[in-house]
Amino acid sequence: MSVSVQVMGILGRRMEVAVPAARVEKAFSLRLQTVSRTAKIKGFRPGKAPLDIVRRQHGGQVREEVVNELIGQALSESLRQEGLQPVGQPQVEPLSMGSGEDLRFAAHFEVYPTVTLQGHEGMELSLPQVEVGTADIDAMIETLRKQRPDYADAGRAAQDQDRVTVDFEGTLDGVPFDGGKAEGINFILGAGRMIPDFEAGIRGGSAGETRTFDVNFPADYGAPQLAGKTAQFTATLQKVEEPKLPELNDEFCKAFGIDEGGVERLRAEVADNMNRELAQTLKQRRRSAILDKLSESNPLELPQLLVEQAIRELQMDMLRRMGARDAKALPPRDPFVEPARKRVQIGLLMTELVNTAGIQIEASVLEQRIAEAAAQTQNPEEAEKQYRSNPQVMQQLQMAVLEEAALEWVASRANVTPQPVSFREVMNFGAEA
Given this model, what pLDDT does residue 63 score? 86
Strands (E), 217-263: 230-244
Given this model, what pLDDT does residue 136 score? 95
Q: Residues 395, 388: contact at Cβ < 8 Å?
A: no
Mean pLDDT in consecutive groups of 10 residues from the start of the chain, 433 residues: 94 96 91 76 68 71 89 96 95 90 95 94 94 95 93 95 96 92 95 94 96 94 90 96 94 91 94 95 94 95 95 91 77 93 95 92 90 90 92 92 93 94 81 37
167 sits in which H/E element: strand 163-172
Report helix, strand or coil for 170.
strand
Q: Name which of 352, 404, 399 is nearest 119 in CA terms.
A: 352
Burial class of residue 240 in the structure, from the number of CB atoms within 10 Å of its CB (0-12 exposed, 13-18 middle, 19+ buried): buried
Helices (H), 37-86: 51-82
Amino acid at 254: K
Q: Structural domains in the chain? A: 2-111 (3.30.70.1050), 150-244 (3.10.50.40), 254-432 (1.10.3120.10)
* CB under 8 A, 24+ apart: contacts of 137-146: 137/267, 137/270, 137/271, 137/274, 139/424, 140/270, 140/274, 141/248, 141/266, 141/267, 141/270, 142/245, 144/256, 144/270, 145/245, 145/246, 145/248, 145/252, 146/243, 146/245
- The rounded distance, in Å, linking the Cα atoms of 15 and 23 is 20
Given this model, what pLDDT does residue 253 score? 94
Q: Name which of 404, 423, 396 is nearest 290 in CA terms.
A: 404
Given this model, what pLDDT does residue 430 score? 41
Q: Name which of 170, 172, 267, 156 is nearest 206 in CA terms.
A: 156
User: Whole-structure pTM over 0.85, yes or no?
Assistant: no
Q: Residues 250, 260: contact at Cβ < 8 Å?
A: no
Q: Residues 17, 78: contact at Cβ < 8 Å?
A: yes
Given this model, what pLDDT does residue 289 score? 95
